[in-house]
């Protein structure tokens, strides 16, 4: 028995998880190495704590209130605050004090595409991928403000190598490779209802991502949080890979966040209607966080104010700003977010070596739980049509088709406002239009852009 096997088997047995080595004698050398790697990464003390969640009492009902929102429709005082914030945000960006954290651990398999989700092509004219849209926005911000910031790309064990290779093959989309940093999200073993680690195969623990809150822990454990502080980064812009309209270098948002002295702030969009199954930002017993659709009572879900607007309408779009000091508090010395249990029926390996369906649980930390730890926070309402059209499903809502539709609708409006040429359409078709973020990221920038000669491609127009 090798020393490594002896140590890991002893750890597992001491934790009551010795069964993970049940099939050791059946494994070849590569499989044994894989199993040892997985067991070595397990924090058995944490697994003991997570197992207690199966017996935890159900959460009692909370008193819910809507958050204080910095609205799209602003009076003179708020508009003056917005002007001040834009200047403060621009100053941060010009000083190179903003880093960008992209959550990109998913695969595009649900979209019928083989590869990391960020490599999925979404540009209606150019065919640009999600990764390239984000990269071009970061390049545009660097050009606009005369300074860029580091890009932290969170991958997963399943797509880390492919993501790095994709960036390399595309020469990091024009960004300096030294300013693009990859780190991988951690995985946690699933447990059965008795607290035993489940196996997906003879040499494999049943592993699942540890939630978007785990992104913060991985950012710290990778050394990138410390490196960001050393590099003078003061704020981190957090966003998801699947939204091609996201604006990671938004002067207004970053400025409002900084002026408020906030640890963590959020962007929201108004819910389409009370039935849209999206979490909303709000206060539960006075603590700011994200209230899941299923947790909001029916009478509150549809409640409206005197203007006929939903009271709980601040839809969470997973766009945040976080200060470096706050990140240190939340994850610099171990993640200080609660863990959540998701009960599942899973196909796992039984003790006799056959595969069976068994009830168990996966465990996740949620990044929005950090809002409750922030002494100050800004909730900025933005226009869904301008900043949020995610690619999540193969068809229907939040699909490639709806994202391309929203892109075309937004940018065709800019082109029309500028009095420029739109491609021909038939009936109710939308003009197929795309604007390169390097040319303009807002309507105002586009109207000021010195271009009247779009590149035509297959019936669409690309303004770049």
Whose CA is closest to 379, among 311, 290, 459?
A: 290
- 106-159 pLDDT per residue, tens: 999 999 999 999 999 999 999 999 999 999 999 999 999 999 999 999 999 999
Residue 451 pLDDT > 80 = no
Same domain, yes or no: 410 and 377? no
Tell me if the pTM is above 0.75.
yes
308 with 431, same domain?
no
Over range 327-348, report the average pLDDT.
94
SS3 string, 274-328, reads: CCCCCCEEEEECCEEEEECHHHCCHHHHCCECCCCCECCCEEEEEEEEEEHHHHH
367 and 317 share one domain? yes
pLDDT band at 449 (very low <50, low <70, confident <90, very high): confident
Residue 413 CB: number of other CB atoms within 10 A?
A: 16
Q: How far apart are CA 25 and CA 18, in angstroms?
A: 14
Residue 1: what pLDDT?
Answer: 58
Whole-number mean pLDDT of the chain?
Answer: 94
Question: Confidence band (pLDDT; 50, 70, 90) for 452?
Answer: low
Q: How confident is the model at residue 450 (pLDDT cuts 50, 70, 90)?
A: confident
Domain containing 443 equals: 399-464
Q: What average pLDDT score do residues 266-282 get?
A: 95
Q: Extract the tokens encoding 21.
A: 């080595």
Q: 54, 193 in Cβ contact below 8 A?
A: yes
pLDDT exceeds 90 at position 436: yes
The answer on 461 and 368 residing in a single domain is no
Using the predicted structure, report yes or no on whether residue 175 has a pLDDT greater than 70: yes
pLDDT at 433: 93
**Is residue 426's pLDDT more than 90?**
no
Average pLDDT (247-271) is 98
pLDDT of residue 455: 80
pLDDT in tens, 118-129: 999 999 999 999
Same domain, 269 and 413: no
* Mean local confidence (pLDDT), 86-97: 98
pLDDT per position as a tens digit, 190-240: 999 999 999 999 999 999 999 999 999 999 999 999 999 999 999 999 999
Confidence of residue 31 (pLDDT cuts 50, 70, 90): very high
Tell which residue, 291, 244, 252, 283, has the closest CA to residue 400: 244
What are the residues whose beta carbons fall under 8 Å from the beta carbon of 292, sequence distance 6 or more? 279
**Band of the pLDDT at 294, cuts 50, 70, 90?**
confident
Q: Are residues 14 and 51 in the same domain?
A: no
Same domain, 80 and 160: yes
Q: Which residues contact 269 (CB under 8 A, 6 or more apart)?
A: 315, 317, 381, 382, 383, 384, 387, 388
Please check whether residues 106 and 189 belong to one and the same domain. Answer: yes
Span 364-387, pLDDT tens digits: 999 999 999 999 999 999 999 999
Judge if 286 and 424 occupy the same domain. Answer: no
**10-19, 166-175, 214-223, 417-426: the lowest-pLDDT one:** 417-426
pLDDT, average across residues 350-354: 93
Percent of the chain with pLDDT over 90: 88
- Specify whether 339 is located in the same domain as 416: no
Residues 36, 52: one domain?
Answer: no
**What CATH number is attached to the domain comprising 318?**
3.90.550.10
**Average of pLDDT values for 426-447?**
90
CA distance 114 to 102: 20
Tell me how many domains the chain contains.
Answer: 3
240 and 361 both lie in a single domain: yes
């Amino acid at each position: 028995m090798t020393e490594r096997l002896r140590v890991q088997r002893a750890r597992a047995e001491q934790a009551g998880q010795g069964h993970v080595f049940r099939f050791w004698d059946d494994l070849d050398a590569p499989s044994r190495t894989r199993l040892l790697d997985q067991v070595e990464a397990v924090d058995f003390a944490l697994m003991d704590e997570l197992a207690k969640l199966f017996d935890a009492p159900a959460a009692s009902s909370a008193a819910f209130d809507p958050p204080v929102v910095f609205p799209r429709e602003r009076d003179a005082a708020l508009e003056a605050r917005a002007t001040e914030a834009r200047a403060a945000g621009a100053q941060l960006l010009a000083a190179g004090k903003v880093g960008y954290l992209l959550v990109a651990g998913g695969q595009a398999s649900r979209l019928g595409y083989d590869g990391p989700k960020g490599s999925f092509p979404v540009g209606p004219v150019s065919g640009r991928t999600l990764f390239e849209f984000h990269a071009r926005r970061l390049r545009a911000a660097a050009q606009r403000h005369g300074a860029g910031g580091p890009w932290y790309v969170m991958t997963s064990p399943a797509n880390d190598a492919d993501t790095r290779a994709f960036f390399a093959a595309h020469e990091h989309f024009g960004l300096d490779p030294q300013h693009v940093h990859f780190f991988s999200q951690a995985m946690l073993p699933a447990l059965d209802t008795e607290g035993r680690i489940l196996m997906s195969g003879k040499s494999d623990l049943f592993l699942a991502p540890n939630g978007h809150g785990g992104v913060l822990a991985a950012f710290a454990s990778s050394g990138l949080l410390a490196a960001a502080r050393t590099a003078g980064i003061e704020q981190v812009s957090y966003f998801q890979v699947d939204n091609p309209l996201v604006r990671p270098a938004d002067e207004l948002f970053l400025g409002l966040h900084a002026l408020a002295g906030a640890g963590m702030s959020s962007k929201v969009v108004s819910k389409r209607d009370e039935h849209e199954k999206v979490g909303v930002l709000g206060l539960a017993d006075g603590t700011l966080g994200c209230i899941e659709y299923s947790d909001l009572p029916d009478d509150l879900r549809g409640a409206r104010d005197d203007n006929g607007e939903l009271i709980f309408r601040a839809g969470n779009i997973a766009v945040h700003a976080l200060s470096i000091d706050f990140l240190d508090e939340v994850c610099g010395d171990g993640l200080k977010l609660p863990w959540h249990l998701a009960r599942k029926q899973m196909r796992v390996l039984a003790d006799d070596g056959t595969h069976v369906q068994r009830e168990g649980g996966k465990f996740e930390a949620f990044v929005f739980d950090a809002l409750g730890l922030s002494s100050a926070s800004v909730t900025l309402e933005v226009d869904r049509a301008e900043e949020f059209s995610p690619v999540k499903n193969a068809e229907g809502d939040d699909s490639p088709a709806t994202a391309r539709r929203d892109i075309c609708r937004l940018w065709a409006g800019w082109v029309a406002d500028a009095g420029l040429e739109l491609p021909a359409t038939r009936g109710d078709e939308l003009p197929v239009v795309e604007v390169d973020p390097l040319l303009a990221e807002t309507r105002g920038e586009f109207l000021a852009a010195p271009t009247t000669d779009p590149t035509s491609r297959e019936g669409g127009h690309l303004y770049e």
